[in-house]
Amino acid sequence: MPQRILVLGASGYIGQHLVHTLSQQGHQILAAARHVDRLAKLQLANVSCHKVDLN
């Protein structure tokens, strides 16, 4: 069953792989990251990217 999942740190090494894997499984991803340009390279349809700085 597809779920909506928030991934913090989505532009990092682990975050990018996590977003890609979850997306491949059909989940809706809300990706929060400092560097959204890195996520744009993935070109995944069910991923919503948001620039976030938690400092």
Supply the mean pLDDT for the chain. Answer: 92
Going by pLDDT thresholds of 50, 70 and 90, the confidence category of residue 17 is very high
Q: Residue 6: is it exposed, middle or buried by C-beta count within 10 angstroms (0-12/13-18/19+)?
A: exposed
Distance CA 36, CA 51 (A): 6
Asked if residue 31 lies in contact with residue 19, where contact means CB atoms within 8 angstroms, the answer is yes
Q: For the beta carbon of residue 11, count every other beta carbon within 10 angstroms.
A: 23
For the entire predicted model, the pTM comes to 0.86
